[in-house]
């Protein structure tokens, strides 16, 4: 199994986003890929083969983290947060507590449960509860290595729908956006949990999306969103290198979708009700400048995520449309009927897990999405909000207390 970082689902006035650093398939099937290794262009009428199902996870919305060490999922049970470890056949291995879980108030109480997905690196799995407790566990047995409370220890600020960011990890550090006025963005030693540095980062409040890590020519950087900014930070010491101000941010519409970096450019699809809409920014080679290339105010979604493949940006809309934007101009080239839901890439295909439980397979033909197959998820409990994770020809879909694995080859 290939290593993957994490995938997550987060909340605002509605729900969710995806960490696009996850393995979501290749951009296209290469000429030297064996035919038996290529994913199916169409599915059987009843859907792809269900390899296994694990039931009993508990409530939650974040997808699984799939790594060489196993499968790891965050979940809530009886108001407590847990991380569950499975093997690659879906067999239970261990379950470890991670403090109290976010249960919400008023409208947010409609959606209790864990938000973020865990992150695996170097024999450790890092998990964040909806109340901002970040812990490091041994992937082999679930033993706790260290734990930090972002709200209590670092005076972080909890969003109306809970802490939803997956921990981001490199070889040395774990990065978390606590959202406090002093300790806003924090880097921890990934093995001990000791604070390496903290930075105010515009002293701006939280967002619900997970940042991305980039290696530039002269430095390594973290690129993420706060409520009012896209920011670029030096991972060595937390220095703010550049920022881009987001316009017309309305209360209750903080960002859920993570950024995507391709060929020196940053792409962002915001939550509904944002003035500038979707944007493309040029990131300078040293990270000290973010320059707007284009914006499309008509392209927004709640938490469905987006993907960039070659010269196309694909995203779903709440009006049940799948859009294909030309990345050179930002203009919509194709608009096709589709379920509204979480979108991921699978080689030269797109898979959308709809909020209604329908999973659709689209084939990309010269950039245009063509619907080839669909199935319905009937197992599990609660909302259909998680993002599918696809690796080594298997698609994993989490719905509430259940995790399903489907064969796509």
Residue 302 belongs to a domain: yes
Identify which has the larger pLDDT, 139 or 111: 139
pTM, full prediction? 0.91
Residue 6 belongs to a domain: no
Read off the pLDDT band of 159 (50, 70, 90): confident
From CA 75, how far away is CA 118, in angstroms rounded?
10
Calculate mean pLDDT across residues 186-203.
96
Residue 26 belongs to a domain: no
pLDDT tens digits, residue range 258-301?
Answer: 999 999 999 999 887 667 899 999 999 999 999 999 999 999 98
Using CA atoms, how far residue 37 sits from 25, 26, 112, 268, 366, in Å, is 12, 12, 39, 32, 22
Task: Give pLDDT, residue 51.
Answer: 98
Residue 25 belongs to a domain: no
Is the distance from CB of 322 to CB of 330 less than 8 angstroms?
no
Which domain covers residue 280, as residue numbers?
Answer: 35-407
Q: Is the pLDDT of residue 210 over 70?
A: yes
Tell which phi-psi region holds residue 237, choosing left (phi > 0), alpha (psi between -120 and 50) or beta.
alpha
Residue 65 belongs to a domain: yes
Residue 13 belongs to a domain: no
Calculate mean pLDDT across residues 30-53.
77
Residues of the chain with pLDDT > 70, as a percent, come to: 90
Task: Give pLDDT, residue 38.
Answer: 86
Q: Is the pLDDT of residue 111 over 90?
A: no
Mean pLDDT over the full length of the chain:
89
Is the distance from CB of 296 to CB of 325 less than 8 angstroms?
yes
Residue 393 belongs to a domain: yes
Task: Give pLDDT, residue 183.
Answer: 83
pLDDT tens digits, residue range 249-269?
Answer: 777 667 889 999 999 999 999
CATH code of the domain in which 251 resides: 2.130.10.10
Calculate mean pLDDT across residues 106-112.
83
Least confident stretch, 30-44, 115-129, 160-174, 179-193: 30-44
> 363-372: b or e for each residue (b if 16 or more CB lie within 10 Å)?
bbeeeebeee
Read off the pLDDT band of 182 (50, 70, 90): confident
Residue 20 belongs to a domain: no
Domain count, the chain: 1
Task: Give pLDDT, residue 296.
Answer: 96
Residues of the chain with pLDDT > 90, as a percent, come to: 76
Identify which has the larger pLDDT, 249 or 243: 243
């Amino acid at each position: 199994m290939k290593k993957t970082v994490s995938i997550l689902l987060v909340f605002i006035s509605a729900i969710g986003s995806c960490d696009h650093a996850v393995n979501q398939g290749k951009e296209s099937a290469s000429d030297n890929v064996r035919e038996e290794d290529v994913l199916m262009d169409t599915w059987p009428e009843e859907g792809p083969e269900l390899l296994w199902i694990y039931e009993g996870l508990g409530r939650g919305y974040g997808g699984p983290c799939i790594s060489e060490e196993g499968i790891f999922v965050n979940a809530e049970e009886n108001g407590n947060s847990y991380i569950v470890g499975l093997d690659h056949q879906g067999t239970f291995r261990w379950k470890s507590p991670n403090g109290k879980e976010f249960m919400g108030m008023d409208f947010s109480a409609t959606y209790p449960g864990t938000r973020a997905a865990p992150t695996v690196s170097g024999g450790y799995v890092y998990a964040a509860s909806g109340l901002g407790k970040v812990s490091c566990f041994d992937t082999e047995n679930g033993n706790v290595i260290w734990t930090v409370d972002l709200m209590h220890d670092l005076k972080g600020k909890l969003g109306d729908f809970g802490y939803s960011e997956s921990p981001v990890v490199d070889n040395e550090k774990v990065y978390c956006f606590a959202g406090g006025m002093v300790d806003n963005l924090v880097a921890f030693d990934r093995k001990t949990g000791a604070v390496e540095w903290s930075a105010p980062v515009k002293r701006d409040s939280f967002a619900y999306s997970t940042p991305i890590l980039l290696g530039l020519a002269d430095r390594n950087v973290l690129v993420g969103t706060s409520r009012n900014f896209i920011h670029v930070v030096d991972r060595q010491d937390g220095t703010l290198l550049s920022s881009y101000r987001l316009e017309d941010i309305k209360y209750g519409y903080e960002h859920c979708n993570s950024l995507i970096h391709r060929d020196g450019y940053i792409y962002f699809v915001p939550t509904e009700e944002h003035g500038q809409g979707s944007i493309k920014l040029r990131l300078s080679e040293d990270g000290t400048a973010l320059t707007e290339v284009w914006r499309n105010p008509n392209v927004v979604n709640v938490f469905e995520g987006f993907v960039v493949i070659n010269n196309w940006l694909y995203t779903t809309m709440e009006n049940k449309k799948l859009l294909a934007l030309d990345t050179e101009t930002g203009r919509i080239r194709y608009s096709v009927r589709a379920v509204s839901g979480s979108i991921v890439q699978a080689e030269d295909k797109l898979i959308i897990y709809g909020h209604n439980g329908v999973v659709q397979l689209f084939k990309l033909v010269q950039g245009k999405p063509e619907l080839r197959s669909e199935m319905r998820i009937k197992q599990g409990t609660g909302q259909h909000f998680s993002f599918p994770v696809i690796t080594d020809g298997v698609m994993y879909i989490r719905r509430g207390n259940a995790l399903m694995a489907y064969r796509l080859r």
